[in-house]
Structure formats: C-alpha cells, structure tokens
Amino acid sequence: DWTPDSFIETTIAELKAKLGDDKVVLGLSGGVDSSVAAVLLHHAIGANLHCIFVDNGLLRKDEFKSVLDSYKHMGLNIKGIDAKQRFYDALAGLTDPEKKRKAIGRVFIEVFDDAAHEVQGVSWLGQGTIYPDVIESVSVKGPSATIKSHHNVGGLPDFMKLKVVEPLNTLFKDEVRKVGAALGIDPNILGRHPFPGPGLAIRILGDITPEKVDILQQADAIYINNLRSAGVYDKVWQAGAIYLPVQSVGVMGDERTYENVICLRAVESLDGMTADWCHLPYDLLAKISNEIINNVKGINRVVYDISSKPPATIEWE
C-alpha cells in the first residue's frame, strides 16, 4: 500500500544507491514540486545536493528573500542568485507575450548554466517533474517546455547534458503534497497557488519596466494578504493581480488623476485546463480595492475579472 512514509523510505534508499557520492544540481522555484524533490534528495545525499534559486525580478513582493530563508531553514545547501537586471535588460521593449516568455526562458538557462558550472564535478540534474508532466509533456508550459523549445538553438547548455534524476515522476500533485507534509515542509510552501515560470512578466500587459513590477508587486501583496486574512486563500485555486497599461480618469481629494488599472483575478480549477472565476464576497473585494487605490501610487481604479476558461485563459498573456 502506498503511504507517504513508505514512499519516502524507499525513495531515499533508491536515491542513495543510485547517487552514491555524486553531486546533484537542482533549480528551486519556490513551488511545491521542486521543493519536495529537493528535500528528498537532501535526505539522501545531504550537501552533495546543490540547489539554485534565481531571482528573476518577476517574483511576488519579498518572495525571493522569504522563500530563500525558508529553504535555508530546512537545511538545504542553496545558493540565491540576484539576476534581476539581466532579466529586465532582456525584456526591455518587448511587448509580445511569446517573445517575453522566450527571453525569460533564455536568460534563465544562461543564469542556471553559469551557476551549475560553479559546482565542481557535478554529474546529475535534479528535477521536480511529476507524473502528469511525464504523460502530458505536450501541454507542459513549465521550465522543461521552455528548455525544450531552446534545444535547437545553438546546442545544449552544459547542465542539460547531465544525467537526470526525478524522484517525483511517479506521483500526482496531491501525493506530492502528502509527501511534502510528511517530510515536514512548511505548509506555506505546500499550499501555494500555482505561479507561472515567467512570473509577473505575463501579468503586466505589454512591456516590462522595474517601476511597473514594483506597482504590481504592491497591489498583488495587498490582494493576496487579504485573501489569506479572510480565510479565502486556500479555497481559491489560483489568484493574482494584473497590471493594465490603460489610463483612466479619477479624483483624489481636489485633484484629477489619470492613472493605471489593476485587475484582480481568482479562479477555481482542478488542473488549470478549465477554470471558473471565483465569486469572492463583495465586502472583501471592496476592502481590497480601497486598500490598493489608497496605498499604491499610480493606480486609481481596480476591476475584477469575471471570465471563465474557456474561452478566456487564466493568465492575461
């Protein structure tokens, strides 16, 4: 019978036998899968697991530091890399969503490859691939798909020539969460909403600037904190704020304003393939809207997205 504890025991034994004294490099994203894969590998090989966590400048407010701290707290051998400027430089002036995704994927590979080269004598690449990623590789949009689309461009980066170890590739998402809980991983990491690899870059329509990222981070943090304190966060499958580069007229005191719009999105879903918009309480929406407009400079209007998928998608880009 499958239980989280039996899975953990056999997997750690298998990893020890397979890896011996070899070194493994693994990219952490802050998400559930890579975190659980890292902790399992850490139990098996300790400091021979070298984790890399990249700040692409497109994460949620304060997320890089808080996630890095919680990984360190778990005892992982982890290196945080501030690559914000490299991503902003690559994104400058790009407005097409697919071009933005490609640029982010390319820079991520460069940054990760540089970091992997610093691990002397590494022979394995660890990945948090889960069973649905294996069987549905066509529809996977994560880093692995990004990497695949770069296969043909100028040869493989060195880290992709490493042998691959994927301790979760027989598990479904709910099993990964159970294993993570049995491993004692922070519930805040295990219960996180899905967050796209390109991050806030696909929640800012059009071109990306650090100023827009800053505004969206502030609004998104107000939104998510309110969902948490209202006890709604865990009932929603995914939520986030979107920055609309549209200006509209408002009034603040005696002054006329002409500023941008924040859109709030929250959906219920099983797997992201279809989704319904959440009927969040009006009082909660009112509180969030007031807090955003009163506190985030540059925003004078908040709207709520009431579109389901299909025909709308969850993200706006």
Query: Which residues belong to the annotated binding site for ATP?
Result: 29-35
Closest approach, Cβ 74 to ligand XMP, in A, equals 23
> How many chain residues touch ligand XMP (CB under 6 A)?
13
Q: Is 30 a residue that touches ligand XMP (CB under 6 A)?
A: no
Q: Centre a 10 Å sphere on the Cβ of residue 298 and count the other Cβ atoms it contains.
A: 16
Helix or strand holding residue 253 (H, E): none
- Rounded Cα distance between 215 and 23, Å, is 40
Q: Is 313 a residue that touches ligand XMP (CB under 6 A)?
A: yes
Q: Is 314 a residue that touches ligand XMP (CB under 6 A)?
A: yes
Q: Is 128 a residue that touches ligand XMP (CB under 6 A)?
A: no
Nearer to ligand XMP (CB atom), residue 122 or residue 128: 128
Tell how far CA 268 is from the center of its chain. 18
- Rounded Cα distance between 240 and 231, Å, is 16
Closest approach, Cβ 219 to ligand XMP, in A, equals 17
Q: Is 194 a residue that touches ligand XMP (CB under 6 A)?
A: yes
User: What's the token pair of residue 111?
Assistant: 């940054």
Subset of 73-102 contacting ligand XMP (CB under 6 A):
101
Subset of 218-257 contacting ligand XMP (CB under 6 A):
238
- Rounded Cα distance between 260 and 215, Å, is 10
| Nearest CA among 68, 15, 74, 73 for reference residue 45 | 15
Interface residue with ligand XMP among 4, 250, 272, 298 (CB under 6 A) is: 272
| Nearest CA among 244, 274, 281 for reference residue 259 | 244
Site string for ligand XMP, 281-310 (x = CB under 6 A): ----------------------------x-
Cα end-to-end distance, the chain, whole Å? 43
Near ligand XMP by CB under 6 A, which window of 84-92, 190-198, 223-231, 287-295? 190-198
Report residue 256: phi and psi, to 5°: -85, 135
User: What's the token pair of residue 34?
Assistant: 């890579």
Q: What is the DSSP letter of 130?
A: -
Closest approach, Cβ 300 to ligand XMP, in A, equals 27
Tell how far CA 103 is from the center of its chain. 17
Closest approach, Cβ 128 to ligand XMP, in A, equals 12
Near ligand XMP by CB under 6 A, which window of 71-79, 172-180, 194-202, 290-298? 194-202
Binding residues for ligand XMP (CB under 6 A): 101, 141-142, 194, 196-198, 238, 272, 309, 313-315
